[in-house]
A and B are shown apart, each in its own frame.
Chain A
């Protein structure tokens, strides 16, 4: 008998914890018997509030996002206050940052909107032009009619002065959140899209996301966290625009 390395193996079709951290909604699936047991259900809720934290701090630490390991002080017992929802950039805030960064790079944002009633999503277009570079930038924004979730913003850039070399399609992802829980889907979606985008040969695509942060009411700390959150979002946009510049696309 010999040691035989496995040359090919199907990647398992169930997620890793990393993926689940990004999709906390998965944990809503519970055994039926837990749901039937009132106190067990209460426990599952209160554990999230840190009731077991004194002897399971390490687990609690692991559960929270790396940057926010401390649970809020007020969340300790049955019927206590809920931990705050994670804070993410609103679409408006994200767009504002985008505008600012585009300004830094000599672009100006001009917005116009169109609606597609026949589609299962509403699609809004935002157009802006960069006269210095001779480019037109169009963004589109989908909104699901069914769930009212804002999904995707696409950005198309094309040369409007003269003939474009070839159409360039840029896709950016932004999320508006359906519930306070699915904040993490934004990063997951962006990352998955970025991986998928890499496979496109004919288009240049990039997905952005904003990191969720927890705000505990200490203004100084909260402001710092929000500033870092915005900085990280800006950084993603800058990196992408730098890449586009280096490739002589814009």
Chain B
């Protein structure tokens, strides 16, 4: 079970779509260490620890101390770490620490300047793109496989395809795009989204034909939902089973969206996780959604994401209409490009999606080319 530590509720940006309830609260080192103790107790071989916020780099020293504590106290466990940062406070010292300590840094950039600055501004409304772009270049110089998290909102959907192109040209190979499902989406905006996805399918096709190593979500995920049909359900949300969120005060919640929601509290770092509460929530989320019983694509759809459902409808088992519209939009487009590449028996497409060793092979190939 992976642990997400909400080490601060503070943030140096004020993104328009952010769901975090910003409070002036930080996690103490004692709580972070107890969370590591619990993670070590619950995971025989170690697990993933994500540092989340607010902006986690506001608590850089806490991250460093927590990682060192885990290393010294549990040398036999293999913890791996992840941070999602807005990049404002990213510096070379921290990147080097991250490289040495197996910390995976994901940076949030919403694309080109127009797209990014339409939402990601500080408390005074000051744009952040310039600073973040410099941080991204610095990150990629040390971590060439660092992923970029791109949020597509109603404000920047017009620039979506251009933004992905921009991020790719910035040399990001892992581009993870997520929709701001809580936004005020309407038919017109969804039509724009569709057109952007069609443009992106051309991007996907072109770069696959060029045999470029890249990962572009949601295309990869949606194609995978067909290819790995039987195992796809394992990738979807297993609320409170696969990972939990630890709030600044040490209370445990099933996912990032539920932090500080009393009814979703499933434990705390002193006592541990209440298996009954955990199971009830899990089952509630797993129950078939009435609205989707007869849906042809329900097995490939993300409607089990409790976070999105909660964020948009207020209930974990009530499916978000925006998510539904999104899935209906993206699936046929992703299928079409996959069919085209498969028809060509494109080596890159086939290896990427059907060869379990693709990750190792592509990295090996890249490294060898660099020699």
Closest 7 CB pairs of A and B: A5-B295, A14-B342, A1-B321, A3-B291, A40-B365, A31-B211, A31-B347
Q: Does B292 contact A (CB under 8 A)?
A: yes
The docked-state distance in angstroms from the alpha carbon of A20 to that of B354 is 7
Q: Are B347 and A59 in contact (CB under 8 A)?
A: no
The docked-state distance in angstroms from the alpha carbon of A3 to that of B291 is 7
Q: Does A199 contact B (CB under 8 A)?
A: no
Q: Are B360 and A3 in contact (CB under 8 A)?
A: no
The interface of chain A, by Cβ under 8 A from chain B, is 1-10, 12-18, 20, 26-27, 29-34, 37, 39-40, 43-44, 47-48, 52, 56, 59, 62-63
Q: Are B350 and A26 in contact (CB under 8 A)?
A: yes
- The verdict on A30 contacting B351 (CB below 8 Å), with A1-B325, A17-B228, A44-B357 known, is yes
- The verdict on A13 contacting B368 (CB below 8 Å), with A3-B324, A29-B346 known, is no
Task: Contacts A12-B339, A14-B341, A16-B229 known; list 10 others, CB within 8 Å.
Answer: A1-B325, A3-B321, A9-B296, A29-B350, A31-B348, A34-B351, A37-B365, A39-B368, A47-B360, A48-B357
The docked-state distance in angstroms from the alpha carbon of A48 to that of B225 is 25
Interface bin, chain B: 35 or more
> A residues within 8 A CB of B346?
29
Please encode chain B, from 340 to 366, with 1 for each CB lying within 8 Å of some chain A CB and 0 for all others. Answer: 011101111011001111001100110
> A residues within 8 A CB of B335?
10, 12, 14
Q: Are B226 and A16 in contact (CB under 8 A)?
A: yes
Q: Are A5 and B296 in contact (CB under 8 A)?
A: yes
The docked-state distance in angstroms from the alpha carbon of A136 to that of B292 is 53
The docked-state distance in angstroms from the alpha carbon of A76 to that of B3 is 36
The docked-state distance in angstroms from the alpha carbon of A62 to that of B356 is 9
- Report the minimum CB–CB distance from A1 to chain B (whole Å): 4
Q: How many A-B residue pairs have CB under 8 A?
A: 123
- Nearest B residue to A43 via CB reads B364
The docked-state distance in angstroms from the alpha carbon of A17 to that of B293 is 25
The docked-state distance in angstroms from the alpha carbon of A27 to that of B369 is 22
The docked-state distance in angstroms from the alpha carbon of A56 to that of B347 is 23
- Report the minimum CB–CB distance from A46 to chain B (whole Å): 10
Instruction: List, sorted by A's number, 14 A–B pairs whose CB atoms are closer than 8 Å.
Output: A3-B324, A10-B332, A13-B343, A14-B223, A17-B227, A17-B229, A18-B230, A29-B347, A31-B348, A31-B351, A34-B347, A40-B364, A52-B360, A56-B357
- Report the minimum CB–CB distance from B187 to chain A (whole Å): 8
> A residues within 8 A CB of B229?
16-18
Q: Are B296 and A34 in contact (CB under 8 A)?
A: no
Q: Are B228 and A5 in contact (CB under 8 A)?
A: no
- Report the minimum CB–CB distance from A134 to chain B (whole Å): 47
